[in-house]
Structure 1
Amino acid sequence: MSPDFDPEAIEHVSDVMDVARANALHATLGHDLKVEDGGILPPFFHQAYFWQPEPPSALGRDGHPKVGGIIPDLGLPRRMWAGGRLAFHTPLVAGVKATKVTRCETARQTTGRTGALAFVTLRHEVWQGDELCVMEWQDLVYRADPSPDAVRPQAPVARTDAQSAEGVGFDATQLFRYSALTFNGHRIHYDLPYARDIEGYDGLVVHGPLLAQLLMLKAQRELGDLATFSFRATAPLMDFEHAKLCRSGTDFWVSGPDDRQCMVASATAAS
């Protein structure tokens, strides 16, 4: 079933791609790197810009802005960034104003193994001047609250044929800093009682886009400048868990404890 939404509704948000925020994101990721005015921003760093602050009265229980605007109210309280696709047309330049244009491309409701579900796809265009820099499709999933007696779905098993792999760990401080830099108020990333008692996780959840960011930077290091990147979250990773960032050819994935597959991705290099 497709809920009512206005496919013609558009949001415009402008921001200066200041170097302070980019360098704070580098530091949060553990990089000893600096961006200068006029320099090129790494792929996906636009996530640290285009904030849309709302007062507390306009937030839902999970810390996200209440739905009902460009995202229709689907009557489901749990939100997850399930995946996305990006096309990189030209690099974003630090210190220069940019504009993000957002539309709700699709919204549909269905029923899965865990109950009612809704899928929303937002399309973002990031422009500097009259030049389109990035096209992004952001896939969101909305769910009902978990039943206390519900059986957790089995996580898929990660591939074991990696040509390259590197270990990565997280902690609550890093998740908090990433939430702050991306202005992501979702409480599953910093509020342990909420994450555990309301949404049913074992700990604080590592952001899907944080994992995607790490895979994207690995892809850029090993393939060169990127033309496209797509990713899909397949199982949650907790703040106390270690994982591996893996690659085979143009396929990338995050392998968690017990070989749990947490994310899969693919990239193409710019010609």
Structure 2
Amino acid sequence: MDHPAIGRTRAISDLIDPWREAALHAALDLAGPPPGAGDALPSFHHWIYFLEAAPGRALGRDGHPATGGFIPDLGLPRRMWAGGRLEFHRPLPIGAGAERRTTIENITRKSGRSGPLAFVTLRHEISGAHGLAITEWQDLVYRDDADPAAPAPTSAPAPAGESRARAVALGPVALFRYSALTFNGHRIHYDREYARDVEGYPGLVVHGPLIAQLLLALAEEHHGPPARFRFRARAPGFDFEEITLCAVDVPAGARLWAKGADGRLLMEAETSAAPARQRSA
């Protein structure tokens, strides 16, 4: 039976503020000057806009807005970001207004090795003055607290054969700056004791969207902005290790992955090449 929250919708309007874009450009340590007012917002940089400013009293123990509001309470305390898919239709101009309309597209329950799981798929439709610019699907998973007596999960090894690779160190300062720009209060990214003692991680967890954003930037250096981008988290990365971003060209775009210092697969992704598209709105 479908969950009654499926189909629930809300909208957030925002200004594509040039300062926030410049701050993200600096936080990601991107080369060259940042784009400014009138330029097209780079792919995936919409993540620092359309933010939910929930008051402290509305937060859960993990620092995220508590479930039971727009996203229903599914009875599972741990939230994990699993991945997503994006379609880029037209650019968003920096300095102009835009709207994001979010719909709960699906809620499903499953049983995994670690216990019950709930999967929530959100569909975001982001529009500017000239119409729909981005469609994004986000996949979230909710689960029980970690069992401290359970063995550590095993991770798959990353593939080989990359044609381009870049090592990045995403320590506590980088994680804090990205959390601040995305207004992400999830404590696994900045509260080491909480990450270790409550959620069972060995260190601060690198944001999945941050890894995805860096993978997409690596692909765009050779292929330009894509028409589609798909990515899936496979294992968490941590602040104490070097993460390697990998890419290999394929006929339709690029196949991408990120690996940890021990060679485990953290994320896999792919881009599909865009037809020639308008660079400014």
How would you bin the TM-score normalised by the shorter chain? over 0.9
Correspondence 1:146 to 2:146: yes
Task: Give, as a single letter, the amino acid of the residue that structure 2 aligns with 1:62.
Answer: D
TM-score (norm 2): 0.94
More deviation, 30-39/149-158: 30-39
Q: Is 1:204–1:238's contact at 8 Å kept on the other side of the alignment?
A: yes
Question: Is the 8 Å Cα contact of residues 6 and 107 (structure 2) preserved in structure 1?
Answer: no
Q: Quote the offset at 1:220 in angstroms.
A: 1.2
Match of 1:242 in 2: 242
Letter in 2 for 1:12: A
Alpha carbons 2:7, 2:105 under 8 Å: kept: no
Q: Percent identity among equivalent residues?
A: 51
**One-letter code of the match for 2:258?**
V
Q: 1:251 aligns to what?
A: 255
C-alpha offsets along residues 216-240 of structure 1, whole Å, 9 cap, x if unaligned?
A: 1111112222100000000010011
Alignment of 1:1-271 (within 5 A): 4-32=3-31, 33-249=33-249, 250-271=254-275
Counterpart CA distance in 2 for 1:103 and 1:181 is: 23
Paired residues of 1:70 and 1:103 also in contact (CA < 8 A): no
Structure 1 window deviating more from structure 2 (199-208 vs 109-118): it is 109-118
Code of the aligned partner of 2:69: G
Q: CA RMSD in A?
A: 1.1
Q: Give the unaligned 5+ runs of structure 1.
A: none
CA–CA distance in structure 1, aligned partners of residues 5 and 160 of structure 2: 44
Conserved 8 A contact 1:5-1:70:
no
Native 8 Å contact 1:87 1:227 kept in 2? yes
CA distance in 1, matches of 2:92, 2:218: 19
Q: Which residue of 1 aligns with 2:279?
A: none
CA distance in 2, matches of 1:26, 1:246: 21
Aligned residues: 270
Unaligned 5+ runs, structure 2: 276-281
Q: Is the 8 A contact 1:5 1:71 kept in 2?
A: no
Compute the displacement of 1:5 (Å): 3.1
Measured in 2, the distance between the counterparts of 1:76 and 1:193 equals: 21
Measured in 1, the distance between the counterparts of 2:56 and 2:95 equals 30
Q: State the distance in 1 between where 2:200 and 2:134 align.
A: 35
DSSP-derived class of the 2:23 partner: helix
* Structure 1 residue ranges (4+ consecutive) displaced by more than 2 angstroms after TM superposition: 4-8
Aligned counterparts of 1:168 and 1:66: Cα–Cα separation in 2: 32
> Are the counterparts in 1 of residues 84 and 136 from structure 2 also a CA contact under 8 Å?
yes
